[in-house]
Amino acid sequence: MTVAGKWNPSHHPRDSRGRFTKSATRTLKPAEAKRARAAVAAFKPVDLGAASGDGQQWLDKNTRTPGNGDSGDAVGRYFTGGWKTTNADLRAKKDAASAPDVVAIDKAMTELPDDVMLERRVPLAMFAHIPMEELQGMKVRDAAYASTMLQGAGGDAPDGTVTMHIAAPAGTRAIVNGPDGEVLLDRDTEIAVARVEPNGRGGYDLYGVVIPKQGAAKPGRPAGEPGDGDSTDTPSTLKTPDAPDANSDQGADQNPVGGSAAADGTAPDPEPAPPAPAPAP
């Protein structure tokens, strides 16, 4: 006899029109939680906040112009409005990943050279299918490319917004778009959620870390060395550097996502298990 399981809407995200998407909420597997903990334990972000004045310099330094040809043309189209169609297709169409522009953008992705704190903001309405309190200890994944900005580089998020504070370890695949102040994360990037807190303005602050791929090593460090998955710390004891105390209101007024694709307004996909590390606000 088949036993019916309990429907969990957080595992079945929808787009802004209420349609199911390929983005999803899933439970963190033990190996993924281990890699997330290790990433937090080794996380040493460069100081790129607005106060330091080094953010734009870092963006410009790490902007790689693909030039003419398939990758350059596809990236240019994406940043000048093509993201609307590309991201919608990646979230909903079965064969979207084989589209020429997607193949070209994938090819243009490079690995971030440093540990960096990023921010992404999405309307709370995009999480309507997910009780925010249930995201802690889960992972979120967007089937599309995800536009982020350097933490602290923008203004306060509007009321009713979810601000994602993302610890991106060196080696995270992305395209740095210096002119727009944007760091575009690769499609299907998975983020372990450590903490979700109301921000007092009708929205939430969500803290998470990009989960390194299995066997991935930071630039300049061979796979298998400490910080590459060997951490034995428990998730509940880990925070990224300078993360505020859970009872503090620090970080409630952090900035959201910026860049050309920041306004696509689709929530990332989540996935659940042991609590993941907490990025600094």
Q: What is the pLDDT along the chain (281 residues), one digit of tens a residue?
A: 444 445 344 444 554 444 444 555 678 889 999 999 999 999 999 987 655 568 889 999 999 876 666 678 999 999 999 999 999 999 988 899 999 999 999 999 999 999 999 999 988 877 777 788 889 888 998 899 999 999 878 778 888 999 999 999 999 999 999 999 999 999 999 999 999 999 999 999 999 999 998 766 555 444 444 433 333 232 333 343 333 333 222 222 222 233 444 445 444 444 333 334 444 44
- Distance (Å) of CA 230 to CA 102, 113, 237: 34, 21, 16
Query: In this structure, are residues 119 and 165 in contact, taking their beta carbons and an 8 Å threshold?
Result: yes
**pLDDT of the residue at 48:** 77
Q: Which of 208, 207, 227, 203 is nearest to 216 (CA)?
A: 227
**pLDDT of the residue at 133:** 85
Would you call 188 helix, strand, or coil by DSSP?
A: coil
254: left (phi over 0), alpha (psi -120 to 50) or beta: beta
Burial class from Cβ neighbours inside 10 Å (0-12, 13-18, 19+) for residue 70 reads middle
How many helices, marked H, and strands, marked E, lie in the chain? 5, 11
CA atoms within a 13 Å half-sphere pointing along the CA-CB vector of 68: 0
Alpha carbon 65 to chain centroid distance? 22
- Percentage of the chain lying above the pLDDT 70 cut: 64
Q: What gap in Å lies between CA 9 and CA 154, rounded to an integer?
A: 32
Would you call 84 helix, strand, or coil by DSSP?
A: helix
According to DSSP, the residues that pair with 121 across neighbouring strands are 163
Q: What gap in Å lies between CA 194 and CA 131, rounded to an integer?
A: 15
Q: Which of 196, 208, 207, 204 is nearest to 253 (CA)?
A: 204
Q: Kindly state the helix (H) or strand (E) to which residue 133 belongs, with its residue range.
A: none
Q: Hunting for tokens 């590309």 — which residue is that?
A: 86
Q: Which residues contact 243 (CB under 8 A, 6 or more apart)?
A: 207, 278, 279, 280, 281
